[in-house]
Structure formats: structure tokens, C-alpha cells
């Protein structure tokens, strides 16, 4: 028994060690930094604190907040633009370093502006601009790691699922820490004060920009060559997206997200309402999300241990979507307060609902991300993966805005939740309707190559020759050796 327990404890560390050996330790550290700290911790804190900011500070109606939250996805929709900038346009000969620093500065300025400026001088529109700046900081930093993941997935397809498991695990652990502390921060600092903590992760991005190792390009900037690269990248993306093996699953992923309308703000206002809802406290709301983050880790482990090697994309996504539809019935049960008729307290039921929802969401999202990495051609893998994520972000934006429209049409306001249950019915019906689109997903196993061989060779996708770059987070002694060598050569 003790030996088995020891094996279970050591297994995650052995898995990390294997990834470091196969993929390079620098790559693993990069994933931890961007996915764990920037998206996991900061993203979860942002979600809770911004909800309370709109509700308690700006006093906005839930349907309007849904509209505002939709704008958060605009920087993610622009990921192909960030990808082109970092792939093609250099700053003093560097492709990546300056953009980490720029994204970090953008995040720090945006977070501190909304946190420190008095609300009398910060109308809702200006606050929205600042919060979009925070999400833009996350999106720009995310592009480089996504490009590395896509390229490694093509070169080592057997590890594609492991890389996504690593990303999901880091995000979930970071989210666990962020959600656990978010309610306490809101209670102690207020929503405005807690927004200032969103500057912490961008500071790490600035540090990352200074410590990341990158070879400086010796080529002088050439406007004609740069234009050719942009045109070549655009032509490559157009050529790739025309293949049925690529556009069909891309269309499914977009529609599955768009049809899963979000009613989060309406439910959040109901959760915290002292009359119509269960009146959950700020600390408990954060705790709900924190427990959900633990469940999300469980979802990653279930996918990694039981699903990634045994089921095709189509079969796994079909059953994940089916479970997603059934899990939505828990929201309806809670809003109608049937749980109380069954003798189940609100606190217990909402935790159970959050756990089920987060596990199912992971089981649904992980194979879609793995599928996305397998649709990218060599040569423009970073930009094309950004394009696929842009398509997904458009689906999420549609989900937020359509959910806000439904909340508005059914007159769900800050104090009137009479028709919230009807909104839940519509949301669940749309989830089940997505099953009719499952034929767009390939039947291939998750380790198979999906794109045509000529795309994997990276031929004819770019009009101009590009030198291959390697971005590594190296140990300080390695970096110093490189700097010393460069200094000696200059002498």
C-alpha cells in the first residue's frame, strides 16, 4: 500500500521530468509562467473581481455586463495580428522579447489605472477600456507559448496531448490559487482595490521579457521582405483553411462555443441577491470557483489518464457535449430551487454543480485544443494556431453577447429574476442542438496526423525564406556564457 502511494506521488514529477527531457526545460518553464501565473492566477482573479466591480462599483445591469464582458474577447480575436507582429516584425533585432515587455507594461498600466483612479473620474466606458487592456496583456503573452506548443505538437505528435495536459494543469492550479484568494481580496480591499492586484502577473511578464534567451537577428530590416512575409503568411493561412480536414473541425469548434450561450452574469447577480437568490457572500463565491478549479484539475487528470489514448476525436467530443448538455440541467434545478425540495442545501448543491460543470468543461475543451494544434502547418504554425484561437474567441464572444441578449429579452435585471429559469431552458436546449454538428469532427485518433503531408513540410506557405528561431528560458549561467561569447567576438 505504501509503495503504491509512493508511486502515485512520484508519478507527476516523473511526468514533468519526461516533458523537460523531451521538450526542453525552458519550454516547460514558459508554460508555467504564462499559463500558470498569467492566465491561471490573474485570469481567475480578474473574473471574480471584475464581476463585483461592475455590480457594486459601476452598478450595471447583468445584460449590459454580458455585453461588456464580450469585449474582453476582442484581444483574443486579434491573436493572428499579435502572431504576425511577433513572427515577422522585429524590435532591435528581437522577435519575442519586446512583446513580452510591451504586454507586461500594458497590463500594469491598465490594472493600476482602473484601481487607483476615482470612480467619479472613471466612467464605465473608460473602465471597460482598461479591463480590455488587461485581457490584451494576457493575449499577447499567450501567442508565443501557443506557437511553441503548435510547433512541438507537429514535430512530436505523440506528446501533443501531454502538452495540453501540462497547460491545463498549470492553468487549473493557478486558477485554484486565484479563486481561493479572490473573495478575501474583494472583502478586504473592495473591488477597486483588488483590481490593483492584477498588475502582479504583468510584472512577471516584464521580467520574462528581460530573462528570456533569444538570438538577435543579424539581418537588417527590409520593408519589401517584410511585406512578402506578411503576404506569404496570409496566403499560407488561406491555403490551409480551404482543406476540408481543417475547416470542418474549425467550424464545429466555433459553433459549439457560439451555441453554448453564456448567462453567467445573470446567475452571478442571482447568487448574490439577498431576496431572490441564496445570497452567497464574497468569500463563498471565491470558494465556489476555487473548488471548481480543483475539479478542473480532476478533469485534466481524467482526460490525461483515461481518454487521450483510447478514444477518437469524434467519439470523445460527442460524449463530452452530451454530458455538457446534461450538466446544464443542474443550473435549472438550482434556479428553480428544486434542490431545497429534495433536502439539499444551497451551499452543497452549488459546489456539486460547479464541480460537475468544470470537469465536463475540461473534458470538452482539452480534445478541441489538441485538435487545433494538429491542424497547424509548419512555417506559420504560430500564426495559424492564433487564427484558430481567434475563431474560438469569436464563438465565445457570440456566446456572451447572445446570452446578454436573451437576459435582456426575458427582463432579467439586478433585482428581477422571474424568468431566469426560462433562460436556463434555452441555454440547455442549444447545448443539445450542437450534437447535430458532430459529423464535422474527424474520426481520427488523437495521435494521428490530420493535415495533408505537403502542409507539414511547410512548403510554399511563405514566399520568403525564414530563419528558424529557438526561444528558450535558459539558466542564468547559460545566458551569461552566451553574453560573454558575444562580447569576445565583438572584441
Tens of pLDDT, residues 300-312: 888 878 887 778 8
pLDDT reading at 464 higher than 50:
no
Coil, helix or strand at residue 94: strand
Q: Is residue 256 part of a domain?
A: yes
Interval 46-61: pLDDT, tens:
988 998 899 888 888 8
Name the domain boundary from 189, 214, 239: 214
DSSP secondary structure letter of residue 36:
I
Q: Are both 320 and 443 inside the same structural domain?
A: yes
Distance CA 198, CA 421 (A): 34
Q: For the chain, how big is the Rg over CA atoms in Å? A: 23
Q: Is residue 19 part of a domain?
A: no
Coil, helix or strand at residue 445: strand
Low-confidence winner among 164-168, 181-185, 336-340, 415-419 (lowest mean pLDDT): 164-168
**What CATH number is associated with residue 417?**
1.20.1250.20
pLDDT reading at 282 higher than 60:
yes
Interval 154-202: pLDDT, tens:
678 777 778 877 887 888 788 888 888 888 888 888 888 888 899 988 8
Q: Is residue 16 part of a domain?
A: no
Distance CA 321, CA 329 (A): 13
Name the domain boundary from 171, 190, 214: 214
Q: Which residue has the higher pLDDT, 273 or 150?
A: 273
pLDDT reading at 473 higher than 50:
no
Q: Is residue 246 part of a domain?
A: yes
Q: Are both 204 and 240 inside the same structural domain?
A: no
pLDDT of residue 409: 92
Domain count, the chain: 2
Question: Does the pTM of the predicted model rise above 0.95?
Answer: no
pLDDT bucket at 477, cuts 50 / 70 / 90? very low
pLDDT reading at 373 higher than 60:
yes
User: In which domain, by residue range, is 324 found?
Assistant: 228-459
Q: Is residue 220 part of a domain?
A: no
Q: Which of 10-19, 142-151, 169-178, 324-333 has the highest mean predicted lDDT (pLDDT)?
A: 324-333
Q: Is residue 242 part of a domain?
A: yes
* DSSP-derived secondary structure for 410-436: TT--SS--TTHHHHHHHHHHHHHHGGG
Q: Are both 172 and 234 inside the same structural domain?
A: no
* Alpha-carbon torsion angle 87, 88, 91, 97, nearest 10: 10
Taken in order 344, 346, 350, 351, the sign of the CA dihedral is: negative
Q: Are both 304 and 433 inside the same structural domain?
A: yes
Q: How far is CA 338 from CA 105, 345, 428, in A?
A: 48, 10, 17
Q: Which residue has the higher pLDDT, 383 or 262?
A: 262
Name the domain boundary from 187, 214, 241: 214
Q: Are both 185 and 319 inside the same structural domain?
A: no
Q: Are both 262 and 296 inside the same structural domain?
A: yes
* Alpha-carbon torsion angle 252, 255, 259, 263, nearest 10: 110
pLDDT bucket at 69, cuts 50 / 70 / 90? confident
Low-confidence winner among 11-25, 360-374, 432-446, 469-483 (lowest mean pLDDT): 469-483
The chain-wide mean pLDDT, for the chain, equals 80
pLDDT reading at 377 higher than 50:
yes
Q: How far is CA 310 from CA 12, 306, 307, 451, in A?
A: 20, 7, 5, 21
* DSSP-derived secondary structure for 45-56: HHHHHHHHIIII
- The arithmetic mean of pLDDT across residues 241-255, rounded, is 85
Q: Is residue 11 part of a domain?
A: no
Q: Are both 155 and 239 inside the same structural domain?
A: no
Q: Are both 289 and 196 inside the same structural domain?
A: no
Taken in order 21, 22, 28, 30, the sign of the CA dihedral is: positive
Q: Are both 156 and 86 inside the same structural domain?
A: yes
Q: Are both 259 and 197 inside the same structural domain?
A: no
Q: Are both 272 and 381 inside the same structural domain?
A: yes
Low-confidence winner among 14-28, 122-136, 204-218, 421-435 (lowest mean pLDDT): 204-218
Q: Are both 200 and 232 inside the same structural domain?
A: no
Q: Which three cell numbers stand for residue 125?
A: 466606458
Amino acid at each position: 500500500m505504501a509503495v503504491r502511494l509512493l508511486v502515485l506521488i512520484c508519478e507527476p514529477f516523473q511526468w514533468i521530468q519526461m516533458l523537460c527531457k523531451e521538450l526542453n526545460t525552458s519550454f516547460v518553464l514558459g508554460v508555467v509562467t504564462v499559463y500558470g501565473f498569467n492566465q491561471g492566477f490573474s485570469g481567475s482573479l480578474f473574473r471574480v473581481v471584475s464581476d463585483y466591480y461592475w455590480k457594486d462599483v459601476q452598478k450595471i445591469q447583468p445584460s449590459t455586463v454580458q455585453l461588456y464582458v464580450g469585449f474582453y474577447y476582442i484581444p483574443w480575436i486579434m491573436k493572428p495580428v499579435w502572431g504576425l507582429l511577433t513572427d515577422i516584425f522585429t524590435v532591435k533585432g528581437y522577435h519575442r522579447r519586446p512583446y513580452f515587455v510591451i504586454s507586461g507594461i500594458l497590463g500594469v498600466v491598465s490594472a493600476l489605472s482602473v484601481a487607483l483612479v476615482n470612480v467619479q473620474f472613471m466612467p464605465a466606458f473608460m473602465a471597460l477600456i482598461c479591463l480590455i487592456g488587461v485581457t490584451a496583456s494576457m493575449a499577447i503573452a499567450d501567442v508565443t507559448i501557443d506557437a511553441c506548443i503548435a510547433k512541438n505538437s507537429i514535430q512530436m505528435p505523440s506528446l501533443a496531448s501531454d502538452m495540453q495536459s501540462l497547460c491545463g494543469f498549470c492553468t487549473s492550479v493557478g486558477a485554484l490559487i486565484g479563486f481561493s484568494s479572490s473573495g478575501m481580496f474583494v472583502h478586504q480591499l473592495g473591488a477597486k482595490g483588488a483590481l490593483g492586484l492584477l498588475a502582479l502577473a504583468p510584472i512577471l511578464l516584464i521580467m520574462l521579457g528581460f530573462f528570456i534567451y533569444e538570438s538577435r537577428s543579424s539581418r537588417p530590416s527590409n520593408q519589401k521582405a517584410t511585406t512578402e512575409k506578411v503576404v506569404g503568411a496570409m496566403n499560407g493561412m488561406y491555403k490551409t483553411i480551404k482543406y476540408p480536414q481543417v475547416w470542418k473541425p474549425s467550424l464545429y469548434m466555433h459553433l459549439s462555443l457560439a451555441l453554448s450561450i453564456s448567462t453567467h452574469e445573470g446567475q452571478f447577480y442571482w447568487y448574490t441577491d439577498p431576496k431572490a437568490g441564496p445570497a452567497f457572500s464574497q468569500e463563498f463565491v471565491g470558494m465556489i470557483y476555487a473548488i471548481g478549479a480543483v475539479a478542473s484539475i480532476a478533469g485534466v487528470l481524467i482526460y490525461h489518464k483515461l481518454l487521450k489514448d483510447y478514444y477518437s476525436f469524434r467519439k470523445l467530443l460527442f460524449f463530452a457535449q452530451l454530458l455538457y448538455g446534461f450538466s446544464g440541467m443542474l443550473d435549472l434545478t438550482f434556479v428553480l430551487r428544486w434542490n431545497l425540495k429534495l433536502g439539499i442545501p444551497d451551499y452543497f448543491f452549488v459546489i456539486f454543480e460547479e464541480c460537475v460543470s468544470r470537469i465536463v468543461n475540461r473534458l470538452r475543451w482539452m480534445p478541441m485544443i489538441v485538435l487545433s494544434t494538429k491542424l497547424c502547418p509548419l512555417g506559420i504554425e504560430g500564426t495559424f494556431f492564433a487564427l484558430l484561437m481567434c475563431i474560438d474567441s469569436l464563438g465565445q464572444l457570440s456566446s456572451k453577447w447572445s446570452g446578454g441578449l436573451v437576459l435582456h429579452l426575458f427582463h432579467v435585471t439586478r433585482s428581477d429574476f422571474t424568468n431566469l429559469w426560462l433562460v436556463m431552458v434555452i441555454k440547455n436546449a442549444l447545448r443539445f442542438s450542437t450534437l447535430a454538428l458532430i459529423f464535422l469532427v474527424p474520426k481520427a485518433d488523437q495521435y494521428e496526423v490530420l493535415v495533408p503531408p505537403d502542409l507539414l513540410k511547410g512548403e510554399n506557405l511563405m514566399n520568403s525564406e525564414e530563419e528558424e528561431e529557438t526561444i528558450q528560458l535558459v539558466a542564468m549561467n547559460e545566458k551569461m556564457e552566451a553574453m560573454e561569447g558575444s562580447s569576445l567576438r565583438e572584441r
